[in-house]
A and B are shown apart, each in its own frame.
Chain A
Amino acid sequence: MKYFIFLVFLLMNTALVYVLGTRSVLPLPLGSFLSVQEGVWQNAEPVDEDFNASLRFDSLKGKVDVFLDDRLVPHVFAEQENDAYFVQGYLHAKFRLWQMEFQTHAAAGRVSEIVGEKAINFDRNQRRMGMVYAAENALAAMENDPQTISAIDAYTAGVNSYINSLKTSELPIEYKLLGYQPEKWNNLKSALFTKQMTQTLAGYDRDFEFTNALKLLGEENFRILYPSLPDSLYPVIAKGTVYNKPLAVLNPPASADSLYFKRTDTIQFVEDFKPNPSNGSNSWAVSGNKSQSGKPILSNDPHLGLTLPSIWFEIQLKTPAFNAYGVSFPGLPGVVIGFNDSISFGFTNAGRDVKDYYEIQFRDTDKKEYWFDSSWKPTTRRLEQIQIKNARTIEDTVAYTVFGPVMYDKSFKTDLTEEKAYALKWVAHDTSNILKMWLLLNRATNYTDYLEAIGHFNVPGQNMIFASKSGDIALWQQGNFPLRWNDQGLFVMPGTDSSYMWKGYIPHEENPHGFNPVEGYLSSANQRAADASYPYFMPGSYEVYRAITINRKLAAMNNITAQDMQLLQNNNYNVFAEDARPILLKYAIKEQLSADEKKYFSLVASWNLMNDATEKAPTCFTAWWDSLHAEVFNDDLVQDKMPLAKPEKFVLLEALERDSSFKFIDNISTLNKEDLYQMVTVALKKASKKLASLEKENKLEWGQYKNTTVYHLLKTNAMAFGREGLMNGGGNGIINATQHDHGPSWRMVVEMTSPTNAYGVYPGGQSGNPGSQFYDNFIAQWAKGAYYKLWFMESAAVDGATCKWKMSFASK
């Protein structure tokens, strides 16, 4: 009996400890996870946490004082410049370690190590795109520049000093949640981060979709559905600007007509993990003669996926060489968007296509040789080893050609046949040191310094806005943009012949730019940078409508204040609907509408064209127009397994404005010939079904429908760490570009007065710890369109009311 009792207890005890200690029974090891001394309770930061500290590190050369303000923004005062980067690395790690590592693991295609087999496809995609190869090339360039390498070395040392001091109980929550440990930081991870940003901003292309569309529709229809120049374009550089003659007139190879424009086949496989084409930004600068203070005002709001922890970390860096304030990327030294004593700077995405695919002819399935310029050339082979949590490491060999890595072939995309393989040519693979630009911008004092700084930048191409206290405003579209003959790279190119290669890059001085224009302002909002008179072929993915509202408003404004610029960043006017609504209202056949449909019709008819959160009309309008778009194009363009691109919304609008009997209106799958009246009416009827069910759930109001959400980086796996249901307006094509989970990730307005008058806000908080009050404390302010006044400390003299804590760093 006693044996029995003992055995029962022993068994129960062992079972309990096993269940609580493993992930194989419950999704979480609740024993360690909830353990008070080891688990997540240790991440519960007291609301009266004392951040004061005195720390000593061997690698510091001098003293560094960090003043933390009431929003937990560090103001770093360093006696030596590199010490500032050391401390920035330390602080990034202290507040954002898990995010820094996760983002760079993702860049490197190492997510399977953390989450297991479900990420294999993602990881292979990253590796085959050459992300690590690109980062290695970038690191080589950084190491070649003494200024960059010493900054990045100091930054890495700072990150690792924090990691070394970390106890198991202090690990960020996500490590405890997913069950792994941080590894050491290194310089390659910073390079990987720059490539992740490059992929986000310059990783979008439609080469396969366009190739199929050309084959399926023919050239004439292709040009109608995918035009390169919208009628309503308001280019970054004003229309009518006279450009220099091109350096050389480039002509397509003689074989282009047969090998490039007239393919005999379509490409049947689907690409995954494409970046969101909404990734973009607004920025503008107004000169002193348009502002109330007489000084320029610069505004910038980058639109990215909204995440917690935020992509941005606010910081001030004061060194003997400069005093800069703004937002930084956890993972990189320096201030990325911000200002210093003399100038301010911001960015919007250029959206230009810098990524092409070449069809490779391998000699055999070994992929060791490929046909190029009339002979078999050897490939370089890169072995990718993908470690997987709870499973065997898998290997993937990627063949590199003269163009770049062979991203797609049958081994990766099983829908492809054995003969088909596509190599990727991408500016991101080039050797370049873009970090140098920020190191120089942080210390730039005038337009000449700014020009010198941006010269180091190659990709992702950006519109770089500039304003100085001395009164200058400027904007350059900067980057390495391939020199291409007309239509080169729109479609997949033959990879057997060097005549299809890029002919170098457009010289930087030919890039579109503006400096102190007579209009008194410069702006960009991801639209095409120049009109048709720009002498170089400039394909890309561009936005049309935000630029129209911005230009219209800025042209009309005078006596501008920083508050006016904040209001403009939050403007919800739907300029697309201004033109699109009349078409919907005119062509709907009212006699055929039910009571519900009439109700939605009148909501749209009486709408003030503002995408405000509490309006119902934006939901009705959007559903109606999207429904019309689908009615018009789905019959022509929806094909199983064959990727095709949806025409952009300006295409349909401008086509209907030109011609109400636009040829794509007819549904090719019916015998009848449909006209625009029928299409608009059917579109409303279909949209009304959706709207009625939304109304039942009380989700007809735009803000409810849109349900703005800031997801945790683990998305729906960690909804408890995200923020749902933010009621705010805006949307696609609107200056306030807030969509469901995408939008202004940082809003900044800087008036170049003395002292600098600056405002900013981002939808997150300085701490990446979900157990901290500083995790999401900016979100409410951001959601209502309000800002924080940025405390730009001129000297280390402490203002007790704003400065809450002080961390002192010194060498040992």
Chain B
Amino acid sequence: MKFIVSAIITAALAFGFGLYFPWWTIVIAGMLTGFLIPQHWGLSFLSAFTGVFLLWGLMALFISVSNDHILAKRISMLVIKNSSPYLIILITALIGGLTSGLSASTARSLHNLIKK
């Protein structure tokens, strides 16, 4: 339960920050939930990862489908030299997930450190 709530809150914060601030504010979203919601650092990582992975992945998927993958085909060609819309969506989701997940773990380990 805590895991799911934490994932949802991270995604919500990341989305909110994203409306007004640069992409790296997903770090802050991950850190906030990682610091404030007590979980093992591994679970902190996974919940923040899941939250932003799904947020970015689903948003990119939605955008790309309504675009008939026109852009995703070109961007995947540009970035990975291969016309593969779903792969570039996956890479997008992984970047968001990893960044946010690592941030949550960092904050969690900081919390553990201070608490003692």
Contact = CB atoms under 8 A, between A and B. Distances in A.
Given A34-B92, A718-B78, A20 B99 contact: yes
B13 interface: no
Contacts of A302: none
Given A6-B106, A28-B79, A38-B18, A17 B67 contact: no
A273 interface: no
A46 interface: yes
A46 B103 CA distance: 33
A3 B113 contact: yes
A36 B99 contact: no
Interface stretch (A104-112, A397-405, A768-776): A768-776
Interface string A1-35: 01101100110110011001100000010111111
- Please report whether the interface of chain B is mostly helix, strand, loop or mixed according to DSSP: helix
Contacts of A16: 98-99, 102
A13 B113 CA distance: 17
A21 B24 CA distance: 8
Interface string B88-100: 1001100110110
B7 interface: no
Interface residues of B, number: 41
Interface residues of A, number: 41
Given A16-B102, A44-B67, A721-B74, A36 B92 contact: yes
B60 interface: yes
Nearest to B105: A9
B112 A2 contact: yes
B24 A720 contact: no
Contact of A770 (B66, B71, B98, B116): B71
A43 interface: yes
Contacts, number: 124
Interface in A275-307: none
Contact of A40 (B66, B71, B99, B103): B71
Contacts of B112: 2, 5-6
A39 interface: yes
Given A13-B106, A772-B70, A44 B63 contact: yes
Interface in A520-562: none
Contacts of A21: 24
Between A13, A21, A43, the greatest number of chain B beta carbons within 10 A of the residue's beta carbon is seen for A13
A269 B34 CA distance: 65
B29 interface: no
Interface string A453-489: 0000000000000000000000000000000000000
A3 B109 CA distance: 8
B18 A36 contact: yes
Between A2, A6, A43, A718, the greatest number of chain B beta carbons within 10 A of the residue's beta carbon is seen for A6
Given A13-B103, A35-B18, A47 B68 contact: yes
Contacts of A2: 109, 112-113, 116
B56 interface: yes
A412 interface: no
A13 B70 contact: no
Contact of B78 (A6, A17, A35, A720): A720
Contact of A36 (B59, B70, B77, B113): B59
B27 interface: yes
A9 B113 contact: no
A9 B102 contact: yes
A345 to B, nearest CB: 36
B109 A31 contact: no
Given A2-B113, A6-B106, A41 B19 contact: no
Contacts of A41: 59-60, 63-64, 71, 92
A300 B107 CA distance: 67
Given A2-B116, A44-B71, A720-B77, A9 B24 contact: no
Contacts of A177: 78
Contacts of B41: 5, 9
B75 interface: yes
Interface of B: 15, 18-19, 22-24, 27, 41, 55-56, 59-60, 63-64, 66-68, 70-72, 74-75, 77-79, 88, 91-92, 95-96, 98-99, 102-103, 105-106, 109-110, 112-113, 116
Given A5-B109, A13-B102, 8 more contacts: A3-B113, A6-B109, A13-B99, A31-B99, A35-B18, A719-B77, A770-B74, A771-B74
24 contacts: A6-B110, A9-B102, A9-B109, A12-B106, A13-B102, A16-B102, A17-B24, A30-B91, A34-B75, A35-B22, A35-B23, A35-B96, A37-B18, A37-B59, A41-B59, A43-B71, A44-B67, A44-B71, A45-B71, A47-B70, A720-B74, A721-B74, A721-B78, A773-B68
